[in-house]
Structure 1
């Protein structure tokens, strides 16, 4: 007998609660969104609804590796302290037999409405499939019912491949709009639809397309206006590495330009990576009631080692970040101010000359926020300076984060970080204000998020050090550098 949606949700929730009892804490994060157990990937359905923030995520409740995808769900009053809610969507209906893939959320006449991709495998051996776009609604923001007439879009455009997914929906004046990730002739693109009622959609054409350099598929598109610019945020697959750029398996980045709702034409510049680290993908944004454009990404990368899978879970989301456009027209990301609620036990260091390696004796832990500001004036003789984080007692295990003066680049080196992937990422700093370098770290057991000079550069990485590697060092090479200030806080565990 085929189970209905409520029965599948109950079964999945029961399996998740059972798996939760077996999860080991070794790499569990203290203040990031994770599932109670097992696998997660893309953030979905980010929205502020009836005074609370909701985040959904791609979730497999039955295993720490990917499988038939459900939608996990958390909510918060402040974007800091999150509460796990019951699983929102389970696959298995005629239109989403093999997965409820990524999508978005809107408020439709007071109902929390999810728009997502239904994934249907036609032939597993031949790897053929069909994707359709679907809708589900909730009156209470917790329990969701799929629309009885799903799908809302049943066929992709005539020139499209079967890759047709990840709807992001928004309202402008009297119409709803949707962008979708798509592929045609082996090239990635984003396509546009509109609707009056969220149920009947009309194809409006191509918003942006790869010219061959941007790969074979565009995933998880997000289109919005910010500070007078239109921004298309998306995750292209298949870009070839180029110097320091495009070093991850897949990328996440943006195009900025001008868009006309009448002609549906988007005139844009070059593609720019948003986060220059190892583990940032499928980012999605939303507008909150303070007028902020807030973005959250998946803090992992496809086909990477994930040592936490041995512990009964895998994957996490980044901290919420505020997007802005700087004076040069580039996007910046900064931690939202509400995260200061997590701070405890401040330690401060002022005006210290650094030469060689100096251990920070009063700063120790696995869940910290650190803000270090360095002076680049003429007294600096060092050619490299920064911090070693999550160091072992003997210094053999550490993650190196530093500024290379000659290259004018921030560098994140996780070749000595413990378990998991190694590697180095570099990012050129285009602008240095007041001759200073400010490094703002969020460190959380198995993750690092670095914000340089108020989000001009952001580098995100999962790391897997020994739990006892809790020391921190500041260092310079080739000479000395002035450390203007260094502030550190222990950060609260939101899941206790």
Structure 2
């Protein structure tokens, strides 16, 4: 650990100690989600399972709850219930990452964690920082114990990317196939077309650009946070494109997250992309990353937030010195040619008390402050669920439409919708200031922040021709050791 690294670590601890009590006093701190100790959180990074523990890194800016210099924070767990906060781990402490340790991934190989990330550099001067003035460097860190990391190694700079790229090439995701390693990088070319660069290596040190993946027609100017993986004989390309125009109910956020099914060979031009599908319809979801665990599950975690939303809607937690969180871990599956997602089974261990309610017309109940609601629906022409007098979940069979809207506590959030032929089941994870809504076994998902007042714990359910069994489980909090 160099002296600058030590100084930064000491400074982060000082800020956390000084600001921590104010942050903890906020009622809207979440109970069963990972958050920054202080300041700002964004993309999940470096997700992996190593030496019997799951390692969850995240973009961390402890010095400013509205963003700023990005480091990596780290949580570890063996059961997704009991956590250890390992603090700031990856620092912006070299000339090639001095303006931020940006997003990246971990690949476990030869009993070591190999962490790849983007080092951000913004040169002083009159630059547009798109075609000039910015360095996006690919950097490697190695750890043999998940706690200590070797000196950084600069792997690639702007000159190693194709000549037609802008300075926006970032977010390496690395994986192994047969005896070679592959890296996908999000990119923006000089025609402002978003795409993914594919690199190949035999040793994870020397990389060769072997392909570019892009849609037939332009789809956004930048593809961030790419993730390429196989699941149930399908090859999935997960991206977060920027610059997509809204299209009816689709693409209503400032930036999107979604996936293509890729047919053919991603290593050559012999590939074809399916239609792009949004992976989450809510207000607060971006930059998801996946990994494969020892149980054979493809797990996903997303950022429960978005960049550049200040003029659209807001998060009042900034008044307490923090902002944003990670989603709960979700297991991905392919069902009927669609990528589905549901909360991992371990979260059921947080369930405590339970209310079982039969609904034929309408009910109103106190519910709990934080809960896991499961609704099994045998028949339904329409359904409305109002949570804490703030969030409204509405389904109308005649219109084939499901809508999430706010009657209070949305802080600028209004409504998001999805086409839905039928409603068979619904699961809602309600934390103090977040909702994660899983429809029809995860066929559609809505993630959002919301901010009810402390006295609001009620739930109202009503509908037409309704035959619904509700199970409302009180949820305990994560146990986080600092």
TM-score interval for Structure 1 and Structure 2 normalised by the shorter chain: over 0.9
Instruction: Tell me the CA shift for residue 19 of structure 1.
Output: 2.1
For 1:402 and 1:280, the matched residues in 2 are separated by 20
For 1:29 and 1:135, the matched residues in 2 are separated by 33
Distance 1:227 1:403, change over 3 A: same
Report the more deviating stretch, 280-289 or 365-374: 365-374
Q: Conserved in 1, the CA contact under 8 Å of 2:283 and 2:413?
A: no
Deviations 1:462-496 (A, max 9, x none): 101112111111012xx44222x110111111146
Q: Secondary structure at the match of 1:349?
A: strand
Deviations 1:158-194 (A, max 9, x none): 1100000000000111111000000111110011001
Q: Say yes or no: does 1:190 pair with 2:174.
A: no
For structure 2, which runs of at least 5 residues remain unmatched after alignment?
none
Partner of 2:392: 400
Partner of 2:319: 310
Partner of 1:51: 52
Q: Conserved in 1, the CA contact under 8 Å of 2:410 and 2:449?
A: no
For 2:318 and 2:54, the matched residues in 1 are separated by 28
Q: Say yes or no: does 1:335 pair with 2:343.
A: yes
Give the one of 201, 208, 221 matched to 2:207: 201
TM-score using structure 2 length: 0.93
Instruction: Tell me the CA shift for residue 443 of structure 1.
Output: 0.3
Instruction: Tell me the CA shift for residue 81 of structure 1.
Output: 2.8
Give the one of 403, 411, 426 matched to 1:420: 411
For 2:11 and 2:150, the matched residues in 1 are separated by 16
Q: Say yes or no: does 1:42 pair with 2:63.
A: no
Aligned pairs for 1:250-399 within 5 A:
250-260=255-265, 263=268, 265-304=270-309, 305-327=314-336, 329-350=337-358, 352-355=359-362, 358-361=363-366, 363=367, 365-376=368-379, 382=381, 384-391=382-389, 398-399=390-391
Deviations 1:405-452 (A, max 9, x none): 1121211002x231522211111125x4xxx52110000010000111
Q: Conserved in 2, the CA contact under 8 Å of 1:284 and 1:295?
A: yes
Number of positions where the alignment pairs a residue of Structure 1 with one of Structure 2: 468
Q: Say yes or no: does 1:8 pair with 2:15.
A: no
Instruction: Tell me the CA shift for residue 453 of structure 1.
Output: 1.0
Instruction: Tell me the CA shift for residue 63 of structure 1.
Output: 1.6
For 1:210 and 1:97, the matched residues in 2 are separated by 36
For 1:417 and 1:407, the matched residues in 2 are separated by 25
Instruction: Tell me the CA shift for residue 349 of structure 1.
Output: 1.3
Instruction: Tell me the CA shift for residue 200 of structure 1.
Output: 1.0
TM-score using structure 1 length: 0.91
For structure 1, which runs of at least 5 residues remain unmatched after alignment?
392-397
Deviations 1:213-262 (A, max 9, x none): x2110000000011111000010001000000000000000000224266
Q: Secondary structure at the match of 1:406?
A: helix
Deviations 1:349-397 (A, max 9, x none): 13x3115xx3124x2x221000112232xxx5x5x31311122xxxxxx
